[in-house]
Amino acid sequence: MNTLTTKPKRGRPPKNYDAGADIKRLLIRSGVEMFTEKGYMTSDINGILKKVGVPKGSFYYYFESKEQFGLEIMRSYDNYFSHLLDKCLCDSGLPPLARIEKFYQSAKAGMEKYHWLRGCLVGNLGQEVASLPDGYGEILNTIISGWQKKVETCLLEAQALNTIPSGTDCRLMAAFFWMGWEGAVMRAKLTRNSDPLDMFMSVFMNKMLIPNVIQDTGRRQRKTGGEHTSVCDPAD
């Protein structure tokens, strides 16, 4: 019978830690915080260890490398942000477009809470993609595509309710939303205020979507030749 042996992990195991504490989870959480502020290349692993209270030599007990640490951080951030999106975009108590507004307000409040120093971790890393480890770019793109699909689903629901016209390309609109949103988040970090976020959302909601509704209802009116009820009218 073969005896299986476990290869020991590198580095020193930590000393005198509370047995109930999940040190790896705390390291990832601290890493998420630093990456949302500084990105990957300039994030200091020693600073993360110091914040959590882990000796320098213990990092490799939990992670094989900074590259693996980064992968764990991206996975954790995607889980967190996807949960935020679901909480906002799947809120059946609100109309679909109001759910997008809810996400915007929630994200804006989050940036304001940290004095506009923290942005989007995926957006930060995306700006560094030429210097990141191989495969990071593909992972980041997959994450963004998942978020994009959630917005697309919300827009399709709005379309089914005639809130936006039947001819709207919801996939294209969702892609545009994330390209514009990430740029607005980056600019908000520079201006240290919500103006870029407010401006983008105003354009997206009032220029990209609403004019299409007006045009679509106009076509319906000409086609029927009679009176019509605007799909922009609030429900009773």
Q: In terms of Cα–Cα distance, which of 204, 222, 221 is closest to 168?
A: 204
In one-letter notation, the amino acid at residue 56 is K
Q: What are phi and psi of 101, to 5 degrees?
A: -60, -40
Mean predicted confidence (pLDDT) in 176-196: 98
Average pLDDT, the chain: 85
The Cβ-side half-sphere exposure at 168, using a 13 Å CA radius, reads: 31
- How is domain 73-223 classified at the CATH fold level? Tetracycline Repressor; domain 2 (1.10.357)
The pLDDT tens digits of the residues spanning 130-173 come to: 999 999 999 999 999 999 999 999 999 999 999 998 889 999 99
Domain boundaries, the chain: 73-223
pTM: 0.79
Q: What contacts 129, CB < 8 A, 6 or more positions away?
A: 136, 137, 140
Q: What contacts 147, CB < 8 A, 6 or more positions away?
A: 81, 82, 85, 178
Using the predicted structure, report yes or no on whether residue 223 has a pLDDT greater than 80.
no
The C-alpha atoms of residue 119 and residue 2 are separated, in whole angstroms, by: 51
Q: Which two tokens stand for residue 167?
A: 């001819």
The DSSP element (H or E) to which 48 belongs, if any, is: helix 45-52
Using the predicted structure, report yes or no on whether residue 212 has a pLDDT greater than 80.
no
Indicate if the alpha-carbon torsion angle 180, 182, 183, 184 is positive or negative: positive
